[in-house]
Amino acid sequence: MRDTTADVRLAEILHGGPLEDITYFASETYLYSRKHGLTDRWLAMYDALPDVTPSSIDLESMVRIGTRDDVSEEQYQNILAAARTQIPWRKGPWSLFGVEIDSEWRSDMKWDRLLPHISPLAGRRVMDVGSGNAYHCYRAYGEGARFVLGVDPHPAYFFQYRLIQHYLRELPVFVVPVTLDQFPSKSAWFDTVFSMGVLYHRRSPFDHLFQLFESLRPGGELILETLVVDGEEGYALTPPDRYCRMHNVWFLPSVATTESWLRRCGFENIRTVDVNVTCQAEQRTTEWMPFQSLIDGLHPDNPALSIEGLPAPKRAITIANVPA
């Protein structure tokens, strides 16, 4: 297997540290061990991508890599075809040499809600758990982070990241297609950790919160975004079957319960900075994600309810710190 420039750089950055062993998960050897049927096809696609240097990169107000004028018509069509091969795009939006990828989620809206409330990311080591295709990883780097690691087990999202990374390969932004369960315990290495849209998929939310706690250095900051429901401290809804057509949703806590869970796991300085009802402007079907989306998970006669009759999606952003 060939190592990419990014694989080598990740190994150099992590060498001698508590996360040194995870470098293997970014290798093509590991990708092939996953036995994903499209691995050969997608790796060949990267080999065929045109080598173009973007005239400009914007990771602060959006994620824009180059412009249409940077590429020929043939190169543009090559990049467009590669991106379309990767449908569905869940997180974004992305602008790649004039290829405008209108993803299902307007992830920039979530980023804009949380950014004013978190500690400045300049100079920090950042991890995004459940990173998908690394959209928020690149936004974190755009805010000055010195190293960003995304963690997401889904190969399709990893390959989307590899498409983007082809043109941003010099940046210290990496994704490993694994779960946090595969990380060394108690690494205590990151300054900031994001966990957004993950907690409600975990059968044991406390195990997830403890893993997040142990990955942060003393004084480090957690940004937790999760589905919530109205209720007092101690209340959490467990869907009897599916929730908004999703089968892997286990716990929807109240905001007060979320904060109490964080306290129980040892976090301090806990504050919920945003509660937002998910709207169709933020999550919807597009040509880049042409399958079921938010509207299909809502009750057709009452959008305040899920199609199963449960409260419609509401998301909270809670920030907490590991004691210094």
Q: Report the alpha-carbon distance of residue 28 to residue 25 in Å, rounded.
A: 8
Q: Quick one: tokens of 162?
A: 């590899």
Ligand-binding annotation for 35, yes or no, is: no
Ligand-binding annotation for 141, yes or no, is: no
Whether residue 93 is preceded by a cis peptide bond, meaning omega within 30 degrees of 0, is yes
Q: What angle do CA 186, 139, 14 make, to 5 degrees?
A: 35
272 in Cβ contact with 317 (< 8 Å) = yes
Question: What is the maximal distance between C-alpha atoms in the chain?
Answer: 59
Does this model's pTM top 0.85? Answer: yes
Helix (H), strand (E) at residue 264: helix 255-264
Mean pLDDT of 234-244: 97
Q: Indicate whether 140 pLDDT > 60.
A: yes
Burial classification of residue 309, based on how many CB atoms lie within 10 Å of its CB (0-12 exposed, 13-18 middle, 19 or more buried): exposed
**1.10.3720.10, 1.10.260.40, 3.40.50.150, 3.20.20.140: CATH of 5-321:** 3.40.50.150
pLDDT single digits (tens) 28-55: 888 888 877 778 888 888 888 999 999 9
The bridge status of strand 173-176 relative to strand 147-151 is parallel
**Which residues, in sequence order, are bridge partners of residue 147?**
125
237: nearest Cα among 311, 186, 303, 128: 311
Mean pLDDT of 306-319: 98
Ligand-binding annotation for 91, yes or no, is: yes
What pLDDT sits at residue 1? 39
Residue 29 to residues 4, 13, 39, 168, 203: CA-CA distances in angstroms? 12, 20, 11, 22, 30
pLDDT single digits (tens) 188-227: 999 999 999 999 999 999 999 999 999 999 999 999 999 9
Q: Report the alpha-carbon distance of residue 200 to residue 154 in Å, rounded.
A: 17
Ligand-binding annotation for 203, yes or no, is: no
Q: Quick one: tokens of 158?
A: 């990893």
Ligand-binding annotation for 181, yes or no, is: yes
Q: Indicate whether 179 pLDDT > 80.
A: yes
What pLDDT sits at residue 3? 46
Ligand-binding annotation for 127, yes or no, is: no
Ligand-binding annotation for 105, yes or no, is: yes
The bridge status of strand 64-65 relative to strand 57-58 is antiparallel
147 in Cβ contact with 172 (< 8 Å) = yes
pLDDT single digits (tens) 261-298: 999 999 999 999 999 999 999 999 999 999 999 999 99
Work out the angle between the directed axes of helices 39-48 and 155-165 (0-180°, nearest 10).
10
pLDDT single digits (tens) 110-120: 999 999 999 99
